[in-house]
Amino acid sequence: MQRRSFLRHGGLAAATAAVPFQAPAQIGNQPSMKITEIKTFLVGSTRGEQGGTGNISGRNWVYVKILTDQGIHGIGEAYSCGPDEATVKVIEDYARWLVGQDPRNIQHLWDYMYNTTRFPGGSVVNSAISGIEHALWDIAGKAAGLPVWALLGGRVRDKVRLYQSIGGSSPQEAAENAVELRERFGFNACKMSPHNPGDNQMPYNEVTRTAGERVGAVRDAVGPDHDIAVDIHARYFEVQRAIRVAKQIEPYYPFWLEEPIRPENPDAMKKLADHVSIPLASGECNYTKFEFRDLINIQALDVVQPDVCVCGGIMEMKKIAAMAEAQYMMVAPHNPMSPLATMVNIHFAASTPNFLILEYRAPVDDARRDVLDSPPQVNDGYADIPNQSGWGVELNEEAFQYYPPRPWKRTTGFRADGSVAFI
Ligand SMILES: [Mg+2]
């Protein structure tokens, strides 16, 4: 058995190598394997001129590619939580720790990244860990000759239910978009914002009244049986405000009410849950089993929404899902990132019994069509489950030159008095 040590990979790792890890030289009938290099790609989500100065429209996507001495590589996606360059730097730092390790010891390498960081990671560190973890699973699947879902307990369903957000700057436009998306892609669910443009400037009663009008317009357009999720996007700070909006839209039977308040306070979410009859969903701003623990244990939610690109990766999301399952909660993964994140989520959904539905955006724009060799498609409202080894897709690295990264930040909202709103 070959004795392995973290000592050889730089000063930061050297400080943590008091008990070197000893891994078997081979796993089953597969030869030993070592990580040789970890690459990152920062790719713009909109087409642009190579070397252009860019603008603030469109976010970037952060990709990870791990190479091994067996010629097998894996790919993953980290959340672009911004600043995206910070996530790239963390991945590059972790590369110094991980080169030389067997990529198939995924839990051990996750522990190595998570436990060795001085403080529990925030969005940037957990995004980096997530992207790396995806690539490790891709390698493990390719080495075994199996899809990742087959390594996660096998498949529990034949296809994966999808929904898409409808947008719309007015109630009428939102309603038209919902109908168009259903007719074009076969969805039987959608998600919408209850807010019209300028809501930050409105009195509370106007926000509440127009939220009802907006949800009502979409319900009238799609009929009684289409599932309509309503996403407040953590724009409310006060529980009472969320309760009033929830009461206004209850007659339209929403699928769920998403992020009705800020994510920091599970007790406030529980108070809300005790006052409304709409299922509550949240979790896109939370990471790891530790942050989901209170939300799940106090029954503050009906639907948990971890994001596989920031929650710690697909195995961490399986653990969160298992905690939710024990409390009779469903999982509807948050998934606004690129088609690679969608594919990782499809493997999660394929193998998870309390999966409900996956957020999705059809690859009809340039970047979503180009960044993968074969982006996941929607077929009558569902995605197929791939049967190739690993994730079943590859990055289209030649296309990246047409999508240079750009400076990007979220829009800032201001209230009528000039103070900064949540958005
Ligand atoms: Mg959301």
Distances (CA, A) of 224 to 40, 137, 220, 325: 46, 41, 8, 28
What distance in angstroms lies between residue 81's CA and the mean position of ligand 1's atoms?
14
Specify whether 307 is located in the same domain as 244. yes
Note whether 236 and 376 are same-domain residues: yes
Q: What is the CATH number of the domain that holds 374?
A: 3.20.20.120
Residues 173 and 233 in one domain: yes
Residue 403 inside a domain? The answer is no
Q: Domain with 123 in it: what CATH number? A: 3.30.390.10
Q: How far, in Å, is the centroid of ligand 1 from the Cα of 41?
A: 25
pLDDT digits (tens, 9 = 90+) for 403-417: 999 888 888 999 999
Q: Is there a single domain that holds both residue 290 and residue 383? A: yes
Q: How far apart are CA 367 and CA 47, in angstroms?
A: 7
Both 356 and 277 in one domain: the answer is: yes
Residue 58 forms part of a structural domain:
yes
Rounded Cα–Cα distance for residues 167 and 249 (Å): 18
Does the structure show a pLDDT above 70 at 17?
A: no
**Spacing, Cα 284 to ligand 1 middle (Å):** 6
Task: Name the DSSP letter for residue 343.
Answer: H
Domain co-membership, 138 together with 156: no
Decide if 141 contacts 362 (C-beta within 8 A).
no
pLDDT band of residue 83 (cuts 50, 70, 90) is confident
For 77, the enclosing helix (H) or strand (E) is strand 73-78
Which residues are close to ligand 1, an ion, with C-beta < 5 A?
Answer: 231
- C-alpha of residue 308 to centroid of ligand 1, in Å: 14
Residue 230 lies in a domain: yes
Determine the Cα–Cα distance for residues 181 and 183; give it in Å rounded to an integer: 5
Residue at a domain's end among 121, 145, 169: 145
337 and 195 housed in the same domain: yes
218 and 358 in a common domain? yes
- Give the distance (Å) from ligand 1 centre to CA of residue 375: 22
Are residues 235 and 133 located together in one domain of the fold? Answer: no
Q: Is the pLDDT of residue 10 over 70?
A: no
Find the domain containing 39 and state its range.
Answer: 6-145
* Rounded (10°) angle between helices 339-351 and 314-326: 40
Last residue of a domain, one of 96, 117, 145: 145
Residue 416 lies in a domain: no
| Same domain flag for 247 and 332 | yes
Distance 32 CA to ligand 1 centre (A): 42
- Of 100, 119, 145, the domain-final residue: 145
Same domain flag for 55 and 164: no
- Residue 279 sits in the same domain as residue 370: yes
Structure confidence by residue, pLDDT tens digits, 300-357:
999 999 999 999 999 999 999 999 999 999 999 999 999 999 999 999 999 999 999 9
How many Å lie between the centroid of ligand 1 and the Cα of residue 334? 7
Q: What is the pTM of this model?
A: 0.93
Give the model confidence (pLDDT) of 259-281 as tens digits.
Answer: 999 999 999 999 999 999 999 99
The alpha carbon of 405 and the centre of ligand 1 are apart by a number of angstroms equal to: 24
The number of folded domains in the chain is 2
pLDDT value at 16 more than 90:
no
How many Cβ atoms are within 10 Å of 388's Cβ, its own excluded?
14
Residue 415 maps to a domain = no
Whether 23 maps to a domain, the answer reads yes
Distance 410 CA to ligand 1 centre (A): 14
Give the containing element (helix H, strand E) for 114.
helix 106-116
The Cβ of residue 65 has, within 10 Å, a number of other Cβ atoms equal to 19
As annotated, the active-site residues are 233, 334
Which one, of 169, 243, 198, lies nearest residue 415 by Cα? 198
Q: What is the H or E stretch that residue 303 is in? A: strand 303-304
pLDDT in tens, 144-203: 999 999 999 999 999 999 999 999 999 999 999 999 999 999 999 999 999 998 999 999
